[in-house]
Amino acid sequence: DAGVIQSPRHEVTEMGQEVTLRCKPISGHNSLFWYRQTMMRGLELLIYFNNNVPIDDSGMPEDRFSAKMPNASFSTLKIQPSEPRDSAVYFCASSWTDQLYEQYFGPGTRLTVT
Amino acid sequence: DQQVKQNSPSLSVQEGRISILNCDYTNSMFDYFLWYKKYPAEGPTFLISISSIKDKNEDGRFTVFLNKSAKHLSLHIVPSQPGDSAVYFCAATAGYGGATNKLIFGTGTLLAVQP
């Protein structure tokens, strides 16, 4: 099993540009999560999906952030326009709903906005 | 408003000794707790968990203790090995067995095990 796949692994962009992060969950998992890691706040849940449906997006910082899951094997997190304070590592994770909290994380995307 | 707090950003321990990582929480509704381990340039991986109906759970060298009255849990690693050097995240959730599986993570503790 390839595990959770994220792309790109690193992204450097200028303020105001659109950024799209991509995630392929583990096949068969029906829950998908987007997290952001910063030194100050640790791992913050941004949004999670169950069976491709967004369940809780209360962690999305503001309207500049949006996430989609068009099918069970693909999700995107978009930031438009990006700002320097968005610089962080973004993780995608997936799990089986009946496995509850044992989430499998991807390697993360390190985003730098200059 | 951090509901899960790891007040020690880092910890250094000698190989073979015990490592104790601490975590405090504020939400009394939390009923399931987990520890994740993270190596550089990798995503976190699940390590061990405990339900609020227990006060201890053990898995090999790793033991998690839960003190509900103090809203405190700890992870003990005995004996510590250099390969245990990583960032350890504490996480908690409410509604175990329910429809939601939302985790609240702490800020992490960097453990360095010196050979």
Q: Map tokens 């962009």 to a residue.
A: A13
User: What's the CA gap between B95 and B101, in Å, rounded?
Assistant: 8
Q: What is the average per-residue pLDDT within B78-97?
A: 90
The CA distance from A4 to the nearest CA of chain B, in Å, is: 9
Which of these ranges, A48-52, B63-67, B82-86, has the smallest mean pLDDT?
A48-52
B102 and A95 within 8 Å at the Cβ level: the answer is: no
Query: A98 pLDDT band (50/70/90 cuts)?
Result: low
Determine how many CB atoms are found less than 10 A away from the CB of residue A92: 29
A101 and B34 within 8 Å at the Cβ level: the answer is: yes
Which of these ranges, A45-59, A71-85, B10-24, has the smallest mean pLDDT?
A45-59
Tell me which residues of chain B, numbers 6 to 35, contact chain A at a CB-CB cutoff of 8 Å.
6, 32, 34
Q: What is the average per-residue pLDDT within B85-101?
A: 79
Residue-wise pLDDT for B50-69, tens only, equals 999 999 999 999 999 999 99
A42 and B105 within 8 Å at the Cβ level: the answer is: yes
Q: Give residue A41's pLDDT.
A: 83
CB B111 within 8 A of CB B14: no
Percentage of residues in chain A having pLDDT higher than 70: 96
Mean pLDDT estimate for chain B: 92
More confident residue, A9 or B2: A9
